[in-house]
Amino acid sequence: MAVYTEVSDDALRAFLGEYPLGDLIAYRGIAEGVENSNYALKTTAGDFILTLYEKRVDPADLPYFLGLMEHLAARGVTCPRPVAARDGTALRLLAGRHAAITTFLPGVWPRTVRVAHCAAVGTALAALHLAGADYPGARANALGPAGWSPLLTRALADGGAAAEGLAPGLAEELTAALARILAAWPDGLPRGQIHADLFPDNVFFLGGSLSGLIDFYFAATDLYAYDLAVCLNAWCFEPDVSLNVTKARALLGAYAAGRPLSAAELAALPVLAQGAAIRFALTRLYDWAHTPPGALVTRKDPRDYVRRLRFHLAATDAAAYGL
């Protein structure tokens, strides 16, 4: 989450007038994240989240995202539910942006990731994949393998200056790694609706238990095991970017208890983890160079994911992850 688009008091009150949510009490921008503009709302009807979708989000994808959240919530996945306006629609315009209001989930995301958190995320991710299996919508993963070469080109459009400023030789390293990953990318693995961005700041805990999953705006129809590899990268590395094998084993084991992994999925785990690492290294590199000055957003260093990528490139099989 982030704030790129400012919303005035008058515009917000007029916008809320179209919803059965009572009167506005307070609102504030949420700075965490990098994609859309988000505000926490408090009205006389309760607490809600307002999201304004920024330029990276294709408006044509929004019905898929909102519909998936509604579908998953109806099947027991604790995630935000879109709030319909009085005319029955959940998607509207505000401050020149497409916008939606969703329900608020209580809890906080874990600043220090523990083994129990990893196990809970594995269980929740398997449940999400199973719950989404009969969702009728589909969306190609714009940030999946087909999108990585164009993303690399855009990230290096400055001649590689941003990459070289972070680490000499980084542009060449990423180019070589991407060629290797794409050549080895698997076909025929189980696929369906995936979250694709289930980082710690998108998972809430309350009283020691997982209380909700948020931010479905990278969701897509893609490989389930790729989604698991995204979580492996996000949850199982320590601050020094060493893999915590105990956390990895807890995450993978809890997931497999809910949705067993095939032999082909296990065999593909290293290259899937490589793909997940380079995807986030590239988007972070692009954002590092292109985040507008003054935006209420925290840039993320791509080098953290380059270090993860190096680990996965050296992995030969699933045993590297504690299996």
Q: What domains lie within the chain, and their CATH numbers?
A: 9-103 (3.30.200.20), 115-321 (3.90.1200.10)
* Cα 66 from Cα 222, distance rounded (Å): 18
* Cα 105 from Cα 79, distance rounded (Å): 7
Neighbours of 206 (CB within 10 A): 12
* Nearest of 286, 273, 283, 284 to residue 313 by alpha carbon: 273
- Per-residue pLDDT of the chain in tens (323 residues, 90 and over written 9): 457 788 999 999 999 999 999 999 999 998 765 578 999 999 999 999 999 998 778 999 999 999 999 999 999 999 999 999 999 999 999 999 999 999 999 999 999 999 999 999 999 999 999 999 999 999 999 999 999 999 999 999 988 888 999 999 999 999 999 999 999 999 999 999 999 999 999 999 999 999 999 999 999 999 999 999 999 999 999 999 999 999 999 999 999 999 999 999 999 999 999 999 999 999 999 988 776 666 556 678 999 999 999 999 999 999 999 98
Please report the pLDDT score of residue 32 as a whole number: 65
Please report the pLDDT score of residue 1 as a whole number: 43
Please report the pLDDT score of residue 79 as a whole number: 98
Residues in the chain: 323
131: which 2 tokens? Answer: 């719950």
267: which 2 tokens? Answer: 């065999």
Neighbours of 144 (CB within 10 A): 18
* Cα 81 from Cα 95, distance rounded (Å): 22
Please report the pLDDT score of residue 147 as a whole number: 97
Q: Kindly state the helix (H) or strand (E) to which residue 13 belongs, with its residue range.
A: helix 9-16
| Residue pair 28/39 in contact by the 8 Å Cβ criterion | yes
Which residue in the block uniquely carries the two structure tokens 């082909």?
264
Please report the pLDDT score of residue 293 as a whole number: 62
Helices (H), the chain: 9-16, 62-74, 115-131, 145-155, 161-166, 170-184, 224-235, 245-258, 263-267, 269-290, 303-314
Please report the pLDDT score of residue 101 as a whole number: 98
